[in-house]
Homo-oligomer: A and B are copies of this chain.
Amino acid sequence: MEQKRTSGRTLAGDAYDAIRQAIGVGTFKPGDRLRFADLQALCNMSVTPVREALARLTAEGFTLLDDHRGYSVAPLSLAELRDVTATRQLCEGEALRLSVLKGDADWEARLIAAHHLMARIPQVRDDLPSAMREDWEARHAAFHAALVSACGSPILLELCEKLFSRADRYRRLSVSLNGGARDVAGEHRRLMELALARDAEGAARALREHYGQTAAALEGFFSV
C-alpha cells in the first residue's frame, strides 16, 4: 500500500504538523477535547501515529493529557501569557546576551540575512492572505532564532525554541488584535543593530522589552 508523505519522514511527524496547525488556525479551540476519531479523520491515518504526535505536542505544552480521558487543547490564559513572557525574557534574554558576546562574522551574516528576508514582507496585518502570514511567521521565527543562534548552549537554544512556539498562539492573537499600532519592524531592526554593535546588555534589554510590549498589547484581550 502506498502512503503519502506530505512533509515529515514519518506519519507521526506529519500528524504533529497537521494537529499543530489545526490548533494554530483555530480548528480546535483552547479547552477543546481532542478525540482520536476526529484526529484520525483529519490526518487520514491510524491511531498510533496520532498518539505519538499528541505525546510530542503535550511535551511542548500545546495539549494536555488526562490519563484514560484523553487529550485536550491547552487553554490560553492571562496567567500563562505572563508566565511565558517572563520565562522567555529570562531565557532568550540570556541567550541573546551570550550570542552577542560569542557570535562571529558568520553569525552576523546569518542575522543580517534573516532580517532582510523578514523585512521584505510587508507589515503583518489581519487582512493579509493567510499563506503570506504563515510566511511572515516563519521568517519572524527564523530571525529570532538567528539572534540567539550563537549562544553556544544547545539546551538553552532548545528551550528558547520551545518557548517561542508556546508563545506562538498568543502572538497570533496579538497580530489580529493590534494590527499596525506598534512599530514591530522598527523594534526588530533596533534589535539587530544593537546585536551587531555588540551591545550585549542593551540587546538583551531590548529583547525583553520587545516581549513585554507584545504581552502588554494582549492583556486587554483577557480582561473582556
Contacts and interface: CB of A to CB of B under 8 A. Distances in A.
A72 to B, nearest CB: 17
Interface stretch (A36-44, A99-107, A113-121, A150-158): A150-158
A94 B83 contact: no
Size class of the contact patch on chain A: 20 to 34
Contact of A155 (B84, B94, B155, B156): B84
A145 B160 CA distance: 22
A22 interface: no
A87 B159 contact: yes
A183 interface: no
Nearest to A53: B55
Contact of A83 (B51, B60, B61, B154): B154
Nearest to A156: B87
A48 interface: yes
Interface of A: 8-10, 13, 48, 51-52, 55-56, 59-61, 67-68, 80, 83-84, 86-87, 90-91, 94, 153-156, 159, 163, 166
6 contacts: A9-B67, A10-B67, A80-B154, A87-B155, A87-B156, A90-B156
